[in-house]
Structure 1
Amino acid sequence: MAADPTMADEPSHLDEWFDHISVVAGLLEDLLPDDIVLDYSMESLFPLEGAIQASGLDEMGSSFTGAVAAYLGETLIGVANGRWDWDDTPGSPTFGQPLVFADDALGLPPVAPVDLVEKSGGDSFEEIYTVWAEAAQAHAAAHPGLQPIREPTPGRDRVAPEGLEWFEGKYLEAWLVECDREFGNWVARFGAGHTWDFSLDSVDALVQQMYRITPTPEQFQDPANAAFADGASWYLGEILRRAAPSHWGIRHGREAREDFDVTKESGRSLSWSPAVALHDVVQDGHPLNLLRRIESWAPRKVPEAIPPLTECVWTGTDWLTPSQMWGHFFASRLESLREVGIPLDHSADSLRRFEELLLDAGPDPELDAAVAGYLGETLLLVGGGKWSGTTVEMVGGPGLVSVATIDLVLLARRMRDGVTFTRVYSAWERRAGELRTRSRDWRPVRSQAPRPVPAPAVVQTWCAEREHEFPDWVARYGADRTWDFSRESLEALTSVIFDVTPTRGELFSPDNATFLAGAFWYFGEVLRRARPSHWRYIQYLRKPQPDDPLQCLEIAMLDSYDSLQSIVYLSPRVKPAVFFDLMLGQNDRDRLNSKYGSWVNGTRADRAKKAMDRRQRKKSRRKQSDADYLASWLSDRERGFPDWIARYGVGHTWDFSPESLDTLEDLILEVTPLPEQLLEDKAHADFLDGAAWYCGEVFRQVRPLQWQYARKAGIDCYLVSASGGPGYRAPVDTLAEIYLHYDRGALRRILGR
């Protein structure tokens, strides 16, 4: 079939998929906790399977599905080599999807990762990996010396340009030297009137010049604008390189600026091309994705709050997440715009006028939310798609176009150029035009406006019945106790459970079904009211009795459903039926109370563990010897302790007694209520040093310990047994454990271990 001449210069579906791979390469790392290693092994597929099975792909979002599919495909290519291709055969069950082919010598059928992810829910990841791995091993055993061929994946694999050895990097070096030498001329020609100091704050100026000089992808790629595009790409890369330890390198393919990336040298591996990022800025019509990536690359400040806990609202009967709240008042906020006098015709001109209105008005959260809703509805009429929380997503082709509308409104207020909304509108029109060109039948199909999603009927019915019958339950089993859904009431619940069903066999006896249902519901309600969460029906864990809610209900955190930053299967959740069974089996009368503490403290504890891990991965850059540094650190701490007390601890007793550890714990939570503030904020470095020294000295009063420091062990001084016993512990790590516990007294409990 002859090629369509009108499509000759259009990127192929496979090219767009390669671009998608490069975009989502770091998405899973952003979503998953730091202790999960994404090394393209079979073991690395297990967390992805758990995420899909626990929450479902609809709740995780299409960007997560695409990221998992890309990762799965790359994992299979890694074990059996081969290549990516595209299924463009009409009538094929995977038509319009990327395919993964093993090397031809292995004789394996191709795999469609997107189809596999959507249909299997992750169940077949291990199976398909095993098949490919065994085929590769069998081929290697039968043909010694012959290796299957892997075709490089653009956007991930590094390949030397033709005629250029990779390790020499001559073209990249010449490009960097040229951009550096010409930067003064670049500023004079393209950036006069702005400050170009390579700071993170200067990104706004760079974005403004991008939209002024090359407002479309075609203009950014036009050779006539190469001088501007080269300088802009180099400048963004230098911002990244100077903001965090990193270096320039070659990504893949051709001798072009799109193939030059910046790779972070510490922490989790992050690597991206500044030129591609700037191309996306003009293609998307907004820089929100770029700004988020820069913030993850080099955070500019320590968080001041825990968003999942502050964003949910308790109504008296239920928790509402931001997405649900958006659904509740979406229509009413749009209706309020009718009073403004701007025609609600969803045109580009109406967006321009609403942006002018925002810039003329002062801060007004209600107006911002209303305009964000109207903006989202307008974009969906242009490009189709759906709402995902307060973000609109255009779903079409291999990539995903999304806009967080409320963030875009705030960006418009900050940039104040008056064309932020219309620029995004034009980008969506351009994308819709591309889809329409590829398929004459394409039409912008959108989902309905956001609205709350009701819980399954079995959950609503069961909870309503338990609440209705609870007074009778109290009268029968706990009339002389207080049932106010507090933590203290869990002691009463524990006593009642052990009185009525002292053994595991009696717990699930049909004679105790009424008692168990009430106890089950009450414990879940105590947890649900203590922290944003809800009852959840787990269909994939159904027992042979599919109608028995006790086997299929659990309490799950709401913040897990409201943000891709927290994945359901890794977030706290409790299945009371199993929990009660374990409590009786282990005769653990403190189990309900301790679970309450870990439940309420879950988010803070997770953040503390991540902050501790990041600190432990830091490498010392001190020039002193280990012994000299230890001596100077101890001397400075002891000599500066009176000043530390004057600054932080006036009015308290600091006598190095075990009891004073409670005072230290309270002070730490007062000065640095979040773990990142204590462990990572340089503004609190002196406070942390003094607190760690004092904690260590208290421990040394009770146990035969001595201070040590070794560069290879991290950046903190630590304590070891004076008698040469095994093990060591850094007081900084001890202080961090304060955030892992809900109850006061963590430091004294550690001392008593």
Structure 2
Amino acid sequence: MTDHQQLKEQERAGDPRLTAWLDEQRAAFPEALGSSPYDLPRRWKFDGPSLDHLEQLVLRSFGSREDFEENKGTALVQVAAWYLGEVHNQLYGTQWQCAPEPGTDSGADDDSGACADTGACADADSGAPYVIIPYERIEDFPPPADGSDRDGRPRCSPLGELSALFTDGPGRHLRDTLDRYEEPDEPREEEEQEAREREYADNPRLAAWLDAQRAAFPEALCASGDASPGTWDFGASSLDHLEQLILRGFTTYEDFEENKGTASVQVAAWYLGEVHNRLHGTQWQCAPEPDSGAPYVIIPYERMDEYPPADDDPAQDGRPMCTPTGELSALFLRGPGNHLRDTLAPYSRGSAQ
């Protein structure tokens, strides 16, 4: 994209011919659509469902594409085109543009390539107004995956879309023109992450580890003699006892690391994670492949919105996460001011807390 393209689009968006056309359709809207047989105020709300009513109005008003083309200049057709474009504008932030002179280009020959693969955007009347994502948002819509440098922004020529209702068969609907604004990369990444987290939360490796720690818990901690009955109630204060148990059981970081695979360490890690789960609704996750990282606890994916990310967070995921074995190990590295109960503090940032 170039500065030339941006200037061209600014010219098209502010063209006096476009301004006059928009003013005319706004003024004609109440009579052209409001007095139709489909005149119910709730139907013309500039939303997706209202396009179904617009579609039926156009199909019932004209018997064929030829009939439609002959009446393209009427108030009904022009206002219908304006309404379709306005729905795009209000729902997805597009803007009106048109070539400065009637009968010149419709934008398809510029260096944006915005018209490609977006449906009936190349209207027969090449100077017809169209709607397109503003140039300032071009990065929101990456180029096509075919390796070309074409502009990926969706674009719609409403007159072309109305005309296509008569040529593309019953499977074509005006509401479908809104699907173009779905940004495929972002939703796909979210869907992949959600699916990955479901797998990480429910896999044989994690299930076997959890079962082993639950079975070993009574002997590894409850029978340790380090605390009185009732100490291991999965409350925040019990983490102080867990901390002392670890610090007394190992003398150094190296000693702890050498014994990380023992039942006492693994059950201690499980217990720490379970405190998080029971107090703050986290869940266990780990990669299903062997030797691919220790289990950890994290706020479930469906609660992500409760923990907005920091502005400088590259992952854009503000959910607290705790790897219990790492926190136990850190007791020997961070000094006497570090405590296991501090691992609960990040949950206070949640909007639901």
Find the partner of 2:210 among 445, 463, 476.
Answer: 463
CA displacement at 1:179 relative to structure 2: 1.6
Q: For residue 22 of structure 2, what is the aligned residue in structure 1?
A: 179
Closer, same or farther: CA 471–216 of 1 in aligned 2, 3 Å = farther
| Counterpart contact for 1:247–1:262, Cα < 8 Å | yes
| Counterpart contact for 1:262–1:274, Cα < 8 Å | no
Closer, same or farther: CA 401–593 of 1 in aligned 2, 3 Å = closer
Q: For residue 34 of structure 2, what is the aligned residue in structure 1?
A: 191
Name the SS of the counterpart of 2:240 in structure 1: helix
One-letter identity of the residue aligned with 2:219: D
Name the SS of the counterpart of 2:283 in structure 1: strand
Find the partner of 2:283 among 526, 530, 534.
Answer: 534
> How far apart, in 2, do the equivalents of 1:495 and 1:207 lie?
61
| 1:133-532 alignment, distance < 5 Å | 165-169=8-12, 172-192=15-35, 193=39, 204=45, 207-214=48-55, 224=72, 226-236=77-87, 239=90, 252=112, 253=114, 255-261=127-133, 275=156, 282=173, 455-473=202-220, 474-476=222-224, 478-480=226-228, 482-510=231-259, 513-532=262-281
1:323-359 deviation digits (Å, cap 9, x = unpaired)? xxxxxxxxxxxxxxxxxxxxxxxxxxxxxxxxxxxxx
1:235-292 deviation digits (Å, cap 9, x = unpaired)? 3366479xx9x97668845755445445789xx989976847997x9355697998x9
> How far apart, in 1, do the equivalents of 2:216 and 2:204 lie?
18
CA displacement at 1:472 relative to structure 2: 0.8
> How far apart, in 2, do the equivalents of 1:203 and 1:498 lie?
69
Q: For residue 330 of structure 2, what is the aligned residue in structure 1?
A: 582
Structure 2 unpaired stretches of 5+: 99-106, 116-126, 142-151, 162-171, 189-197, 310-314
Closer, same or farther: CA 273–186 of 1 in aligned 2, 3 Å = farther
> How far apart, in 2, do the equivalents of 1:237 and 1:499 lie?
66
> How far apart, in 1, do the equivalents of 2:331 and 2:3 lie?
54
Q: For residue 593 of structure 1, what is the aligned residue in structure 2?
A: 341
> How far apart, in 2, do the equivalents of 1:401 and 1:521 lie?
34
Q: For residue 312 of structure 2, what is the aligned residue in structure 1?
A: none
> How far apart, in 2, do the equivalents of 1:264 and 1:493 lie?
55
Compare relative contact order (CA 8 Å, sep 6+) and give the higher one, 1 or 2.
2
Closer, same or farther: CA 539–591 of 1 in aligned 2, 3 Å = farther
Closer, same or farther: CA 286–179 of 1 in aligned 2, 3 Å = closer
| Counterpart contact for 1:190–1:209, Cα < 8 Å | no
| 1:598-677 alignment, distance < 5 Å | 598=346, 600-604=347-351
> How far apart, in 1, do the equivalents of 2:21 and 2:177 lie?
29
Structure 1 unpaired stretches of 5+: 1-151, 196-200, 294-397, 403-451, 605-673, 675-741, 743-753
> How far apart, in 1, do the equivalents of 2:340 and 2:236 lie?
9
Could you tell which deviates more after superposition, 489-498 or 584-593?
A: 584-593
> How far apart, in 2, do the equivalents of 1:170 and 1:289 lie?
21
CA displacement at 1:169 relative to structure 2: 2.6
CA displacement at 1:576 relative to structure 2: 1.8
What percentage of residue pairs aligned between the two structures are identical? Answer: 13
CA displacement at 1:166 relative to structure 2: 4.6
One-letter identity of the residue aligned with 1:230: A
CA displacement at 1:570 relative to structure 2: 5.5
One-letter identity of the residue aligned with 2:218: P
| Counterpart contact for 1:554–1:574, Cα < 8 Å | yes
Would you say 1:552 and 2:294 are equivalent positions? yes
Closer, same or farther: CA 210–283 of 1 in aligned 2, 3 Å = closer
| 1:718-729 alignment, distance < 5 Å | none
Q: For residue 102 of structure 2, what is the aligned residue in structure 1?
A: none
| Counterpart contact for 1:560–1:568, Cα < 8 Å | no
Aligned length: 274
One-letter identity of the residue aligned with 2:204: A
> How far apart, in 2, do the equivalents of 1:531 and 1:285 lie?
42
Name the SS of the counterpart of 1:485 in structure 2: coil
Closer, same or farther: CA 172–529 of 1 in aligned 2, 3 Å = farther
CA displacement at 1:572 relative to structure 2: 2.6
Closer, same or farther: CA 578–561 of 1 in aligned 2, 3 Å = same
Closer, same or farther: CA 258–465 of 1 in aligned 2, 3 Å = same
Closer, same or farther: CA 158–399 of 1 in aligned 2, 3 Å = farther
> How far apart, in 1, do the equivalents of 2:85 and 2:174 lie?
19
CA displacement at 1:188 relative to structure 2: 0.7
Aligned-pair RMSD on alpha carbons?
Answer: 5.2
| Counterpart contact for 2:46–2:87, Cα < 8 Å | no
Name the SS of the counterpart of 1:601 in structure 2: helix
TM-score, normalised to structure 1, is: 0.30
1:191-247 deviation digits (Å, cap 9, x = unpaired)? 34455xxxxx9873554542123259999x975475144311453366479xx9x97
Name the SS of the counterpart of 2:335 in structure 1: coil
| Counterpart contact for 1:527–1:596, Cα < 8 Å | yes
Closer, same or farther: CA 262–502 of 1 in aligned 2, 3 Å = same
> How far apart, in 2, do the equivalents of 1:170 and 1:569 lie?
37
| Counterpart contact for 1:217–1:283, Cα < 8 Å | no
One-letter identity of the residue aligned with 1:180: D
| Counterpart contact for 1:537–1:554, Cα < 8 Å | yes
Name the SS of the counterpart of 2:45 in structure 1: helix
Q: For residue 571 of structure 1, what is the aligned residue in structure 2?
A: 319
> How far apart, in 2, do the equivalents of 1:483 and 1:176 lie?
73
Could you tell which deviates more after superposition, 203-212 or 478-487?
A: 203-212
Name the SS of the counterpart of 1:486 in structure 2: coil
One-letter identity of the residue aligned with 2:27: G
Q: Based on CA coordinates, which of the two structures has the bigger radius of gyration?
A: 2
CA displacement at 1:510 relative to structure 2: 3.3
| Counterpart contact for 1:528–1:534, Cα < 8 Å | yes
CA displacement at 1:595 relative to structure 2: 1.5
| Counterpart contact for 1:539–1:552, Cα < 8 Å | no
> How far apart, in 2, do the equivalents of 1:176 and 1:578 lie?
63
1:426-474 deviation digits (Å, cap 9, x = unpaired)? xxxxxxxxxxxxxxxxxxxxxxxxxx96722121111111111111122
> How far apart, in 2, do the equivalents of 1:207 and 1:179 lie?
21
1:84-116 deviation digits (Å, cap 9, x = unpaired)? xxxxxxxxxxxxxxxxxxxxxxxxxxxxxxxxx
Q: For residue 123 of structure 2, what is the aligned residue in structure 1?
A: none
Closer, same or farther: CA 497–209 of 1 in aligned 2, 3 Å = closer
Name the SS of the counterpart of 2:285 in structure 1: strand
One-letter identity of the residue aligned with 2:325: A
CA displacement at 1:501 relative to structure 2: 2.0
> How far apart, in 2, do the equivalents of 1:399 and 1:517 lie?
39
